[in-house]
């Protein structure tokens, strides 16, 4: 009855109740409530920021709200300053207060979630606030998180990451860090490093999901768990038939500050099936991870792929079609899975945008583009939330913070009240 009553309050009263009594009920300790009161200035600032946009109206389809939100966005865009490394170094000196003020969930929200822990790798290199918001949005105490910090990241950034991680016993930095070069093997190796570390942990996680610093979830932890259970031991990732003579793996590539193709032809891949194309993002079982880390034939294939171009876009897609690999699918073309049909990641590519009534894969990006990929804007919000994917790529608060803010509010509301906004 109380929760149904809450839904009849005005939006502002809901927010106030959430930060005061709602938080008290949620964490169920007087100490937490007092800590929140002591940090009222911080909370007021957060409340003021949230009140600028009515995410509820937008998600419910109010046609005028996006226009109003954009006007407010442009007015405050120049003055908005992202949280810095120094901010996190200071606030994490008191981990208990930090976890409370930054609204991290402190206990399992259901028995089903408690009994189905998930392992994450998080590959990051910049934008400390975005990393922290991603971690907070997917954090659950029963899960485990391996954070791979790019070796070439700044020292203040690395220090701030370590400071944040020190406040959690289920989050750790990968034991081996790579200097990641775009489109090189280092991207795959970073995930492999985390896989090996996660297998050594005491947490008996069920599935492995990999993320990067520009990803953001579209589902709550409870929804992710339900989706993974429905896979029933199968993996899920993009995997499509690839051209037979693809230069990405036909030629040897050299890695410097970028990846360069040479004229030296490679040997054929040491596998008995064709090559497949996909993406870096995967949803795979614990058994899959264990198998690829231990099986000698898979290890040969991995070593063969080290000098290919964008190996993250064919290594996982191909391994998941090998019959003996746990959770794999047959390599018949009838089993091909596009990025729009997988659950791993929702991505808008510029060359597939356009008028969906004329055959385009999706409507135009309302943010901007980087490497031919859409960095989402506020106008993409409803499209994102209506998709079945677990995560979307990519987001940048410097491009549009509102879309991230509204997804955060949406997921938090569903987590706490088990209902849509």
Q: Strand, helix or coil at 286?
A: helix
In this prediction the pTM is 0.86
Q: What is the DSSP pairing of strand 346-347 with strand 276-285?
A: unpaired
Residues 6+ apart with CB under 8 A from 180: 123, 125, 150, 151, 152, 186, 187, 190
The pLDDT of residue 96? 97
Closest CA to 276 of 247, 313, 304: 313
Position 59 confidence tier, pLDDT thresholds 50, 70, 90? confident
Task: Tell the residue number behind the tokens 């990929």, with chain if given.
Answer: 373
CA dist., res. 397 & res. 367, Å (int): 11
In the chain the domains, ranked by start, together with CATH numbers, are: 1-45 (no CATH), 52-81+346-388+390-421 (no CATH), 99-339 (3.90.550)
Chain segment 11-41, per-residue pLDDT in tens: 444 444 344 434 333 333 333 333 433 433 3
For the record, the structure tokens of 106 come out as 């402190």
Residue 7 has pLDDT above 50, yes or no: no
Mean pLDDT, to the nearest integer, of 158-176?
Answer: 98
Mean pLDDT of the chain: 88
Mean pLDDT, to the nearest integer, of 279-305?
Answer: 98
Chain segment 181-228, per-residue pLDDT in tens: 999 999 999 999 999 999 999 999 999 999 999 999 999 999 999 999
Mean pLDDT, to the nearest integer, of 32-53?
Answer: 40
Burial level of 71, CB count in 10 A (0-12/13-18/19+)? exposed
């Amino acid at each position: 009855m109380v929760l149904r009553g809450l839904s009849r309050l005005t939006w502002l009263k809901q927010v106030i109740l959430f930060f005061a009594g709602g938080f008290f009920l949620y964490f169920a300790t007087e100490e937490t409530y007092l800590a929140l009161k002591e940090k009222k200035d911080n909370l007021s600032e957060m409340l003021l920021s949230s009140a600028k946009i009515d995410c509820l109206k937008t998600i419910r389809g109010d046609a005028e709200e996006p226009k109003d939100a954009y006007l407010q966005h442009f007015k405050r865009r120049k003055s908005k300053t992202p949280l810095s490394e120094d901010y996190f170094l200071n606030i994490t000196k008191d981990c208990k207060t930090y976890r409370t003020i930054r609204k991290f969930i402190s206990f399992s929200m259901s028995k089903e979630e408690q009994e189905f822990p998930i392992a994450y790798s998080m590959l990051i290199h910049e934008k400390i606030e975005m990393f922290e918001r991603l971690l907070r949005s997917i954090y659950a105490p029963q899960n485990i998180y391996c954070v791979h910090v790019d070796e070439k990241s700044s020292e203040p950034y690395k220090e701030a990451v370590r400071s944040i991680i020190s406040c959690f016993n289920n989050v750790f930095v990968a034991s081996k860090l790579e200097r990641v070069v775009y489109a090189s093997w280092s991207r795959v190796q970073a995930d492999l490093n985390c896989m090996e570390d996660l297998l050594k942990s005491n947490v008996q996680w069920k599935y492995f999901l990999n993320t990067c610093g520009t990803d953001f979830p579209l589902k709550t932890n409870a929804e992710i768990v339900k989706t993974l259970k429905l896979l029933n031991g199968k993996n899920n990732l993009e995997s499509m038939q690839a051209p037979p003579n693809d230069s990405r793996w036909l030629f040897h590539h050299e890695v410097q500050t970028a990846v360069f193709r040479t004229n030296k032809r490679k040997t054929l891949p040491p596998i008995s099936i064709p090559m497949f194309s996909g993406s870096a993002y995967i949803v795979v079982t614990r058994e899959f991870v264990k198998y690829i880390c231990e099986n000698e034939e898979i290890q040969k294939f991995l070593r063969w792929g080290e000098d290919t171009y964008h190996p993250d876009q064919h290594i996982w897609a191909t391994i998941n079609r090998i019959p003996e690999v746990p959770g794999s699918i047959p390599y018949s073309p009838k089993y091909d899975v596009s990025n729009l049909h997988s659950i791993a990641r929702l991505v808008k590519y510029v060359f597939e945008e356009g008028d969906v009534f004329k055959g385009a894969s999706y409507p135009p990006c309302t943010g901007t583009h980087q490497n031919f990929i859409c960095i989402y804007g506020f106008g993409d919000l409803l499209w994102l939330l209506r998709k079945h994917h677990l995560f979307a790529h990519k987001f940048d608060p410097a491009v549009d913070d509102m879309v991230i803010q509204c997804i955060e509010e949406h997921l938090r509301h569903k987590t706490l009240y088990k209902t849509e906004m």
